[in-house]
Amino acid sequence: MEQVSRKVSPTVRLTRAGIIAALYAALTYVFGPLAYGPLQIRPAEALCILPIFFPEAIPGLFVGCALANLLSGYGIYDIVFGSLITLAAAAITYAIGRMLKGNLLSALLGGIPPVLFNAIGIPFIIILVSPEESMSAYMLYFGQFMLTQSVWVYALGLPLYFGLKRLREKQVKYVM
């Protein structure tokens, strides 16, 4: 979605990545323990739509997720693997945005990687860290993550997408 003629300085890109990381972590911390576990209240996931617009959102989301997961009860596994899941999803969302050039389909398809990757990967982390959990709980957790991720990525992420798209169309200069 980033226009070829639009030159963005490395300082602006680094600042934008830092803002995204800070927003993700702060929006997660606000919800405390409710932001972790199989039913996550994590509105920060709406930011996962940002790689459609900004390539620097990829490392920003990765760092923000790593910082947010420092408070997770799932320890180093969630910090490392949860953040890597976010990194992979953000990279694919960026690729979708580049291929589809910012139309509605890019937003709809761009939301699939964060929803699907989290729904597939995070239940494994929960089962790995919680010995009382069994693989039979995986499908339940998968469904719960599909639901909660879809709510945050689409119900909050799509309005964010349309707001940023509108600003771009009006050629409003903004850092975020």
pLDDT above 80 (res 4) = no
What's the number of domains the chain is made of? 1
Q: Is residue 2 included in any domain, yes or no?
A: no
What pLDDT, on the 0 to 100 scale, is given for residue 171?
A: 80
What pLDDT, on the 0 to 100 scale, is given for residue 117?
A: 98
Contacts of 161 by beta carbon, 8 Å cutoff, 6+ apart: 49, 52, 107
- The CATH number linked to 14 is 1.10.1760
pLDDT band with cut points at 50, 70 and 90 for residue 3: very low
Q: Is residue 148 included in any domain, yes or no?
A: yes
- How many residues can be counted in the chain? 176
Q: Is residue 101 included in any domain, yes or no?
A: yes
Better-scored residue on pLDDT, 159 or 39: 159
Rounded to whole angstroms, the Cα distance separating 117 from 82 reads 10
SS3 98: helix
Angle between helix axes 138-150 and 112-129 (nearest 10 degrees) is 140
Contacts of 66 by beta carbon, 8 Å cutoff, 6+ apart: 79, 80, 83
Q: What φ, ψ does residue 39 adopt, rounded to 5°?
A: -110, 95
Q: Is residue 38 included in any domain, yes or no?
A: yes
List % helix, strand, coil for the chain (3-state, nearest 5).
Answer: 75, 0, 25
Rounded to whole angstroms, the Cα distance separating 175 from 151 reads 26
Q: Is residue 175 included in any domain, yes or no?
A: no
Mean pLDDT over the full length of the chain: 91
Q: How far is CA 11 from the centre of its chain?
A: 22
Q: Is residue 42 included in any domain, yes or no?
A: yes
pLDDT tens digit sequence for 47-92: 999 999 999 999 999 999 999 999 998 999 999 999 999 999 999 9
152: domain range? 10-168
Q: Is residue 151 included in any domain, yes or no?
A: yes
Q: In 30-135, which ranges are continuous DSSP H helix?
A: 57-68, 75-77, 83-100, 104-110, 112-129
* Sign, Cα dihedral of 76, 79, 81, 84: negative
pLDDT band with cut points at 50, 70 and 90 for residue 100: very high
Rounded to whole angstroms, the Cα distance separating 124 from 81 reads 10
Q: Is residue 5 included in any domain, yes or no?
A: no
